[in-house]
């Protein structure tokens, strides 16, 4: 009986240790000359793998797991080789509400990997087992890092360091996206920009926006809106040194709709400079900023 109780405790602990609650989808509409079963197997294997793998040494209770999704849109398949885009999204709960705020919305447009139906998927951040495992491990750590940055100032550092390690290991394998030669919007620059002191206002803004602003909304909506402006002004500091920075786009790809909604109703605050700031640092979202009043 004693051993049975210990076993139950162990199972309960391990079940709550994983960090992610991830919805994985594989779209294969564009592939017409292959048995669709392999794509269904890939989807289930990845879903099970992501949700049952422990990517860090940090323990999460089941209700603390990070809500996220990975959408793989296949464009080509031949002899177990896949080409696709990968849309990665994540969100975190807002204190005192049932609302979840998006913290990451990134489309990796140039993904390729090899997968054999039924193969075992294993995660080892220190070795290159496959490009698929490196991709999943990289984005899992990025999601965990971004989530941690919203709860503690620069709290995501150890997870970004893990993502950087995956980039370093994957660089020499010949797959696109891991090297600085692959363009300034690659995985390489995604994590290296976040970790650079030059882009520190991004991480500070993520913390101020969530802890200082959104998590205060239930208590005092006016204060929450004012603190949102503070966070946006922090991000604007980055614009002064790096106009049109990739990492600024990352922020607004997740937050633009939410910001427009925050300032489209509720108690009035001084927005005399806000719209000008938003149009300056994120002109691609000008139609959304026009809704602010």
pLDDT score of 59: 86
> Rounded to a whole number, what is the distance in angstroms from the first to the last CA of the chain?
65
pLDDT score of 4: 40
pTM above 0.75, yes or no: yes
Report d(CA 30, CA 265) in Å as an integer: 42
pLDDT score of 40: 96
pLDDT score of 272: 85
pLDDT in tens, the chain (293 residues): 434 433 333 344 444 569 999 999 999 999 999 999 999 999 999 999 999 999 999 888 888 999 999 999 999 999 999 999 999 999 999 999 999 999 999 999 999 999 999 899 999 999 999 999 999 999 999 999 999 999 999 999 999 999 999 999 999 898 999 999 998 999 999 999 999 999 999 999 999 999 999 999 999 999 999 999 999 999 999 999 999 999 999 999 999 999 999 999 889 999 989 999 999 999 999 999 999 98
pLDDT score of 15: 47
- List phi, psi (to 5°) of 160: -65, -35
Report d(CA 252, CA 280) in Å as an integer: 13
Tokens of 123: 């995660």
pLDDT score of 9: 39
Helix or strand run (H / E) with residue 189: helix 187-195
Q: Tell me the chain's radius of gyration from C-alpha atoms.
A: 20
225-248 pLDDT, tens per residue? Answer: 999 999 999 999 999 999 999 999
DSSP string of 62-128, one letter each residue: GGGPEEEEEEEEEEEEETTEEEEEEEEEEEEEPTTSS-EEEEEEEEEEEEEEE--TTPPP---TTS-
State the virtual CA torsion across 108, 183, 250, 74 in degrees, nearest 10: -10
pLDDT score of 274: 97
Backbone conformation region of residue 118, classed left if phi is above 0, alpha if psi is from -120 to 50, else beta = left
């Amino acid at each position: 009986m004693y051993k049975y109780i210990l076993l139950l405790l162990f199972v309960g602990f391990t079940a709550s240790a994983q960090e992610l609650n991830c919805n994985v989808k594989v779209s294969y509409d564009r592939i017409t000359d292959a048995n669709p079963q392999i794509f269904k197997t890939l989807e289930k294997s990845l879903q099970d793998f992501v949700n049952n793998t422990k990517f860090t040494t940090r323990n999460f209770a089941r209700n603390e797991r990070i809500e996220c999704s990975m959408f793989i849109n296949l464009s080509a398949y031949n002899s177990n080789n896949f080409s696709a885009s990968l849309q990665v999204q994540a969100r975190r709960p807002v204190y005192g509400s049932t609302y979840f705020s998006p913290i990451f919305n990134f489309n990796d447009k140039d993904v390729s990997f090899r997968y054999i139906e039924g193969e075992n998927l294993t995660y080892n951040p220190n070795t290159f087992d496959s490009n698929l495992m490196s991709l999943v491990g990289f984005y899992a750590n990025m999601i965990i890092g971004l989530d941690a940055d919203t709860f503690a100032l620069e709290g995501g550092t150890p997870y970004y360091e893990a993502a950087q390690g995956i980039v370093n290991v994957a660089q020499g394998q010949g797959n696109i996206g891991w090297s600085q030669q692959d363009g300034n919007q690659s995985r390489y620059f995604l994590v290296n920009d976040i970790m650079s002191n030059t882009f520190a206002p991004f991480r500070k803004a993520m913390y101020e926006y969530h802890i200082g602003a959104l998590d205060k909304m239930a208590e005092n909506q006016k204060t929450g809106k004012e603190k949102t402006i503070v966070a946006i002004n922090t991000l604007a500091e980055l614009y002064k040194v790096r106009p049109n920075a990739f990492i600024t786009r990352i922020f607004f790809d997740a937050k633009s709709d939410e910001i427009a909604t925050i300032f489209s109703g509720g108690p009035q605050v001084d927005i005399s400079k806000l719209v000008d700031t938003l149009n300056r640092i994120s002109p691609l979202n000008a139609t959304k900023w026009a809704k602010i009043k």
